[in-house]
Amino acid sequence: MSKRNKLQKFAELLTFSNVYENFDPKHPELAGRNGQPADRKGQWAPVHFENTNPITLELACGRGEYSLELARRYPDRNFIGVDVKGARIWKGAKIALSEDLNNVAFLRTRIEQIALFFAPGEVDEIWITFPDPFLENSKAGRRLTAANFLAEYRKILKPGGLIHLKTDSPELYAFTLETLAAESHVKLLYHNDDIYASPLVLPELETKTFYERIHLSEQKTIKYVQFEL
């Protein structure tokens, strides 16, 4: 993608009513439409979505394919896709606006800062769909199921809130299971290293992202882990 095209998308993002951005990691303020300050911590459902429905986050959402599909499937729930890449979020946000999907929004920020923008217990569920596995051991702390990230999720999830990981990476799958086994107050509910080899345990797993379709075409197996903190 050309630099000019990216800049155009970043400019258009500022006009979207369903996108919030944090421009400076050192200062946890959010900007909404036209760059206006927008404090949504503890107020996502009543202020942005104008309802009291439960909230699901999709972390490392990319183009927001899971957020969009879940929003279509469950109109009585709210969905927020989170990613640091504005050009990716632009795609999902634009589709949501074109389809009048009022139960989906997007947050552009670094995921390690997620607890700055949600109140304790404000989030009911988290999906982590095909994140970067960061295969180098030196980058293990950047994996979204590393202990440091679990600590942040614990701050915002309601008691009993579910976390779902869907990945093609055997390394991330194994790392996640090892991490969960070493964590106290973690309940592993289900895991499968080849979800399409048997009937799916959740209808939500039917959703296939752009990258998942590529992985499947390369004969890779798709892994899934479900747990609660």
Decide: 9 and 63 in contact? Cβ < 8 Å: no
Q: How confident is the model at residue 7 (pLDDT cuts 50, 70, 90)?
A: confident
Confidence (pLDDT) at 87: 87
Structure confidence by residue, pLDDT tens digits, 53-108:
999 999 999 999 999 999 999 999 999 999 998 888 999 999 999 999 999 999 99
Superfamily of domain 40-228: Vaccinia Virus protein VP39 (3.40.50.150)
Residue 132 pLDDT > 80, yes or no?
yes
Here the tokens at position 134 are 């960061």
Measured CA distances, 103 to 79, 88, 163 (Å): 6, 19, 20
What residues are annotated to the active site? 132
The residue that leads in pLDDT, 132 or 26, is 132
Domain residue ranges of the chain, discontinuous segments joined by +: 40-228
- φ/ψ of 3, rounded to 5, equals -60, -40
Distance between CA atoms of residues 222 and 141, nearest Å: 23
- pTM of the entire structure? 0.94
The residue whose two tokens read 């701050």 is: 155
Confidence (pLDDT) at 3: 62
One DSSP character per residue, 102-156 reads TTEEEEES-GGGGGGSS-TT-EEEEEEES-----SGGGGGGSTTSHHHHHHHHHH
